[in-house]
Every structure is written in C-alpha cells, then in structure tokens.
Structure 1
Amino acid sequence: MVEYRPIPEERLDEFEALWSYAYRQLDDHVAPDDTDRRIEPARVGEQRGVFDGDELVAICRHHFLRATVRDTTRPIGCLASVATPPEHRRKGYVRTLIESFLDEYRDREVPLSALWAFDYPFYDRYGWELANQYAVRECPPEALSVTTEHTGGEFVRLYPDEYERLAGVLADHGAPYALSIERTEEWWRERTFRSRGADPHVYGWESDGELRGYLVYTIESDDALLDVSEIAFGDPTAYLQLLRFLAVHRSQVDRIRLRGPVDDPLVDLVDDPAAVETTVHPGASIRLVDVESVLEGIEYPEHAAGSLVLGVDDSIVDWNDEAFRLDVDGGSASVEVTTDAPDATLGIGALSQLVVGYRTAGGLADAGELTVDDRETRTLLNTAFPPGEVFLREEF
C-alpha cells in the first residue's frame, strides 16, 4: 500500500541519507551512520514521506510560515527537500507526494505553497510558476565607500537570542514586497544564524540603541570573497552605513557579493556604477493551494469593482479545477463556485502569478496564458490585480 505520512523519529537518519544523495556532491556524501560528518540534523521543518509498504520511496520537508500577499498575511507552506532514490524514480511517487501534501495543506488551512525549483519546467507541470526574480551584485569593496559619516551609530555583532530585533528590521525592509516571510524563532535560529557549512557572521548597525539594519554573510578566504546572503534595513541611512561596513573589508577581501531584490538602489548610490556587476536570476515559484480561500482573503484596490466568472484549470487538485464567480467591491471580494460560463480562463500557475503581483492580466493575455472574452473583463482583472514588487528572500 502506498501512503503519505510523517517520517517517524527513528527514520530521520534515513530521510537525511536520501536528502544527501539527492542534494550533495558525491565527494561530500553523508552516510546515515556517519554521525561525525552530519551537516544538518533533519529536524528543522516537518518531514514527510511516501511509503510503499514499509519502504521509504519519496521525501519532502515543509516549513509552515506566514507571508504577505496583497497587504494581507496568509499561511504559506514552503516546500523543500523533494527527493526520490534512483531505483524508485519514474513510478509516479512524486505525483503522489504532491497530491498528498496539497491535501494536507488544505486541511491545515494553508492556502499558498512556495518552493525553489531545481527544474522550473518540472514544477510548472504541477502548477508552480515563477513568483519573482532576484539580483546578485558583485563589486570590489572600495566601490561601496559611499559614505564615511558615522552619524552617531555603531556596528554590533548579533547573536541568535537577539532574533526579535532583527525581525523588526526585516519587517520594515520587506514591507514593500509581496511574499515577505514572517520567520519563526526556529527559522531565525536554525536557518539565519546557522548554515550547513560554516555558520555566517551577523552584524548590524544601531543608533541610540535601536537596530536599524543588519547583514548576514560569510567570508570565503580562498576566493577573497565576502558573500552577503541577506541585507535588511529600515531606512536609507542604515543602508549607507551597512555599505560602509562592507567597504572596510577592503584589506581582507577583493570582492563583495550581495543578493537582494531587483529594485535595490545600489547602482545609483555608488560613484562608479560600472564597478557593480549585476546578474538577475529566477527566484522562487508559487502555487495557490486553495483558490477560493486566497481570492476571498486578500485585499483589493478600493476603486476596483465588478463581477466576473474565472475559469481555473488545475490538473492536480479538483477543488481548484472549477469556475469561480468573483465579486469585487470596496477592497474585498466574495467568491463562490459556479456553473456559469467563464468570462476569463487561465491555469493555476498563471493565476498564482497574477495574485501575488508578479504578472498582470494584460501580460498573461498577450502571452496566450489567459483567455479573456471582452475588454471589460480584462480591465477588471487589471484593476483588481495590479502589479507589485515580489521578493521571497528565504531559501528552503
């Protein structure tokens, strides 16, 4: 019998061995009984597996957090560590895994799912579509000498017990972006302050005792690189101070690498924009788990008003594979399943992109991913779902 269920405590070593086989290089493989070389205990998040009888044939990990979508905060399931050992691939176990955990999410009233795709077309088939892009900027440290003013503040080293101070800064910095995550204490302690390799350094800039910005980074001595995995700040002054902190590493490293949102103003702040090499990368993918719950639970522009029937194609779960009447007025909406003919039709992945603000109805229609019967319907969709900046910074 094939069954999806939690991984029992006594089989977490087996879970980690499967994860290691799928995600680590061969020369860095961690055997399940090699406790001295264990990189990360498989205790962070919630582990699930598909069992064929008693044999573990597919695994995944869920992080249950909260994320902003259209000025509301909703539960989100962050999927990670999907793996199947080679002897069990191409047998439908991953589809069973996906169908099963989407059932679990809906039962737990988790209406959204996000993941970092190892292969975007693979997850497109199951309804996850790209939600955002992010930028990697690299430059010599001296390029970041944009200010020498101390403005009365100071740099301080930060520790896991201070995570609540960092959370406030992160909330301020993430406020303009959809899919900003509210991290749990476990996430701060086990994912922000810890790493599968060397634990990162965490430093902040505070003024009058208030933390106004922070950096999470590692120093790769062999490459003379300071690699910033996270930068967050509550105001422009704090950002300049964090750049000044990075610039003082000029005697230690040759390059600074920063990962952040595409609209970060770094290139406009430095004296020599050409000194900053910028590459843009595809980010996380998003999927609506429960269309009705999401569409009723988000905020709409006050000036958006009207009614339409939205036909959704979802080949994985039947509760989304319906036509929904959407009545929008006064910043909210009512949603109900209907047998009326759709005014507009799209797939679950395209709808997910539309809802979070990554793509517009007009853009989806022009790309052939949204079928719209008339101009009035297209106008209402564009008005109800305006584009916005999306940045999901957490990797899982």
Structure 2
Amino acid sequence: MPEYRPVPERYRQQLQRFDEYAFHIEDGPQTHDPDDLDALLGDQRGIFDGEDLLSVGTLVEFDARFRGSWITLGGLRGVSTPPEHRRQGYVRQFARESLAEFRDRGVPLVALWPFETSFYRNLGWGTCQKYVRYDFPPRALAAVGERGEGTYRQVGEANWETVRDAHLAAGEGNTLALRLTDDWWRRRFDGRSPYCYAYERDGDVVGYVLYTVESDGDEYEMRVWDLSAADADAERALFWLVATHDSQVQTVRHYRTESALLDRVADPSEFECRLGMGPMVRIPDVPSALEAVPTPERAGEVTVGVTDDLSPWNDGQFGVRTDGETVSCEPVSADTAPDATVDVTTLSQLVVGYHDVERAERVGSLAVSDDATRDALDALFPPQRVALREFF
C-alpha cells in the first residue's frame, strides 16, 4: 500500500521535475546541476510505493495573526502528482496524512493557494478571502497618489530587512497576516528579480512596493505584487511612485484584498477589475482549532456535530464550553441531537472569521437548532478581516 513519509535528499532533482511539470509545463523539460538547486523551504513529504515517488508536497509553518493574537499557521504548497500516477487518490491520501501530521504538531489551521477552488473544497478546505485584480494605466492613480514629505530608496537582497516593520504594520488587525522568517524574506527577493522601493519618513520605513515589469514585445506592464503601507499617508506616497511610471509602462496590474480602490480614484472607468477566489483554510483537528479561538466574554456551552469525509477524527460530535476565560472542546457522545451541525469546510470558515454565523447558515452548511445556540456561536465566532497576502 502506498505510504506517506518524508522525502530523502536524494530525490531532490525528482522533486524539481515534479514541480516544473505541474506548475511550469510551458517551459518544457529542464536540466539542472544538483549543486545549483536552491535549498527547499519547508518539509518535503511524499506518497511512496516502495522507493517509487508517486506524489509530493511541502509542509510549511508561519507565525500568523489570528483574531488579535498570534498562532502557528500550517501551509501546504507544491502538491503535485505526475500524469502517470494521477486519478488514483494519491493527492487525497497526501491531504489526509498531512492534516494528521499538522494535528500532531498542534497546528490549528492549514492554508493553501489552490490551483482550483472546487478541488480543495471537496477535500474540506474553504475559501478564506477574495481578491481583486486591477488593470489600469499608471496615470489613473495620480488622483489618489501624493508625493509626501518622505524619501524613496530602492531595496534589494542585501537590505531587505529594512521593510520588515512596514510589512508587519500593514498586517495589523488582519487575521492571517504573516510574520515572515528570514528564509522567506530572502526568497521574496530571489529568482524573480523584482524591484522594491521603500518609503521612509522621519527615519522609519513606513511602506514599500514590490513589483516586476513584463513585456509582450510591444507594451510593458508593471505587476505590483505587494504594496504595504503602515498608514494612509504612506499608501498615497506609494501610489504616487507607481503613477510616475507612466512614461515606461502602459498598464499596471495590482492585486488587492479589498475593493475600495474604485471609490477613491478620479475615473473608475479607467480600471478593469476581476474578482477572484483567494487562499483556502482548513481545520486539521476540531478541538485544537476551537481552543485557539480567543475566549468570548460570555460563558456558554453548545454541542456541535461535525462532518468530515477526509479526516475521520473530526467526524463526530463535540462539546464546546466557554467560561469567560478559556474555550474548551472535546468529543462527546452522539446519543442526543447536537445544538448545531456543520461540515468541516464551513466550520473552518467560521473559525478564521471569513463567515459570521448568519452567512454560514445562508451560504454554508451550518444548521442551528435555536436562538440561544445562535447567540453562543455569534459570541464565539465574530467575523474578521482576513488578509493572507503572501503566496506560497
């Protein structure tokens, strides 16, 4: 039977081939000197049949903001299976086994960026945010940009640490905003060769913009991958910097986790907007996830019936108790009907704050028996502004 286990170093070139075929197939087969391969971030795991590698993926961990505090957020990246081994359930097995590993590590949530939302929804992940892709001529930002009294300077791999505080400040108040490690910061400035300009005010870096410039041979497009600002003044200063490229690029493409930009610009008709589904989250273990939720002020007790087709340890009934100081959750007997029922997808969205209770009932799977239960769940799961901006 195929087995889930760590991938030894000797499979490194094979991992590279799996990744390139899955995510960069248009580049054709590549040849790599083993000494030139970058060190892999995270923990590589695979599904093996004996010594044959059938499917792979990488487990990563981040420090992430969560409802006003910090948690360890798990992540899955680079999950892939070559075509000769597809349609045999290996990704499903990988997902189940990796969730069990995250459960054993005590990680309360696992996020990923899906290649297809419906595929991972069928495995219990739920969308945790949407994003807007804006395409516009750089001059269209002139009305919302302002030069400001600070200074601009280019940042590169040698001094990336100067923008870390601005990155943290931009994530203040956003659930799933990350505190990136040194390795992840180096990765952001490696490979793609992006430009990065920092905006400094009173001796402190209060914002930065990270971008690349692409060309199809006739026109140039500026792709803004990250625009982080500690406050509104810094954001206007960065908008101004982007607008100054009107002599070099014809189009700017900018991804944002909110849609208010059109309310601020002078001529919204200059902007083309596309709403997209963003990253997804999943609970690896119901008790660990619910006990990570900050304690509501009111005490209460509810029983919740959870369905989880992938992770049998989550499929059952749980008692959730709050006493004003802690949240406790444990499996309970299913002899009596629960106060609420929900599948693991919707429960994950409630935990992260993407859904409030009303929305989880309206568009998700949540079913609540009475108003008292609804009030208790409202107190436990107030909605949050979720903003996981970093692709991994």
TM-score bin, normalised by smaller chain? over 0.9
Contact 1:134 1:391 in 2 (8 A): no
Q: Report how far residue 164 of structure 1 moved.
A: 3.3
CA distance in 2, matches of 1:146, 1:118: 36
Q: Report the alpha carbon displacement of residue 329 of structure 1 after superposing the two structures with TM.
A: 3.8
Give secondary structure in 2 for the equivalent of 1:60: strand
Alignment match, 1:81: 78
Tell me the equivalent position of 2:313. 319
Q: Report the counterpart of residue 21 of structure 1 in structure 2.
A: 21
| Amino acid in structure 1 at the alignment position of 2:91 | V
C-alpha distance in 2 between matches for 1:216 and 1:115: 22
Identify which range, 86-95 or 179-188, moves more after superposition.
86-95
Cα deviation 1:96-141 (Å, max 9, x = unaligned): 2122211211222222111111122221121111111011122211
Q: CA deviation digits over 1:147-190, x for unaligned, max 9? A: 67544311111123433332211111112221111211111101
After the TM superposition, which of the residue ranges 78-87 and 146-155 deviates more from structure 2? 146-155
Tell me how far apart the structure 2 counterparts of residues 44 and 292 of structure 1 sit (CA, whole Å).
29
TM-score, length-scaled by structure 1: 0.92
Counterpart for residue 280 of structure 1? 275
54 and 306 in structure 1: CA distance in 2 versus 1, 3 angstrom threshold: same
1:310 to 295, 304, 307: 304
Counterparts in 2 of 1:244-393, with a 5 A limit?
244-263=240-259, 265-302=260-297, 304-330=298-324, 332-339=326-333, 341=336, 342-367=338-363, 369-393=365-389
Amino acid at match of 1:317: S
> Residue 243 of structure 1 corresponds to which residue in structure 2?
239
**Contiguous gaps of at least 5 residues in structure 2:** none
CA contact (8 A) 1:77 1:112 kept: yes
> With structure 2 as the length reference, what TM-score do the two structures score?
0.93
The change in CA–CA distance for 1:300 and 1:165 in structure 2 (over 3 A counts) is farther
Q: Distance between the aligned counterparts of 1:142 and 1:125, measured in 2?
A: 43
CA distance in 1, matches of 2:121, 2:142: 43
How far does residue 307 in structure 1 lie from its aligned partner after superposition?
Answer: 1.2
Distance change >3 Å, CA 248–CA 124, structure 1 → 2:
same
In 1, Cα distance between equivalents of 2:119 and 2:342: 19
8 Å Cα contact 1:16-1:42 kept in structure 2? no
Distance 1:189 1:258 in 2: 22
Q: Output the CA distance in 2 between the equivalents of 1:178 and 1:346.
A: 22
Q: Which runs of 5+ in 1 are unaligned?
A: none
Q: 2 CA distance for matches of 1:368 and 1:388?
A: 17
Q: 2:60 aligns with which of 59, 63, 67?
A: 63
The alignment's C-alpha RMSD in Å is 2.0
Amino acid at match of 1:328: T
Structure-2 separation of matches of 1:113 and 1:19 = 21
- Distance apart, 1:320 and its partner CA: 1.6
Cα deviations across residues 26-52 of structure 1 (Å, max 9, x unaligned)? 4x1233x4449x8x7361222111110
Whether the 8 Å CA contact 1:146–1:243 is kept in 2: the answer is no
Q: 1:147 to 1:99 in 2, by over 3 A?
A: closer
Asked if 1:132 is matched to 2:129, the reply is yes
Amino acid at match of 1:316: L
CA contact (8 A) 2:157 2:190 kept: no
Partner of 2:225: 229
Query: Taking structure 1 as reference, are residues 299 and 148 closer, same or farther at Cα in structure 2, changes over 3 Å only?
Result: closer
Q: Is the 8 A contact 1:106 1:290 kept in 2?
A: yes
Q: Which sits farther off after the overlay, 210-219 or 266-275?
A: 266-275
Structure 1 residue 242 displacement after superposition: 0.2
Q: What is the deviation of 1:365?
A: 1.7
For residues 135 and 346 of structure 2, what CA distance do their matches in structure 1 show?
A: 33
Where do 1:72-221 residues align within 5 Å? Answer: 72-146=69-143, 150-190=147-187, 192-195=188-191, 198-221=192-215
Instruction: Please give the secondary structure, in 1, of the residue aligned with 2:281.
Output: strand
Take 1:391 and 1:199, find their aligned partners in 2: how far apart are those partners? 25
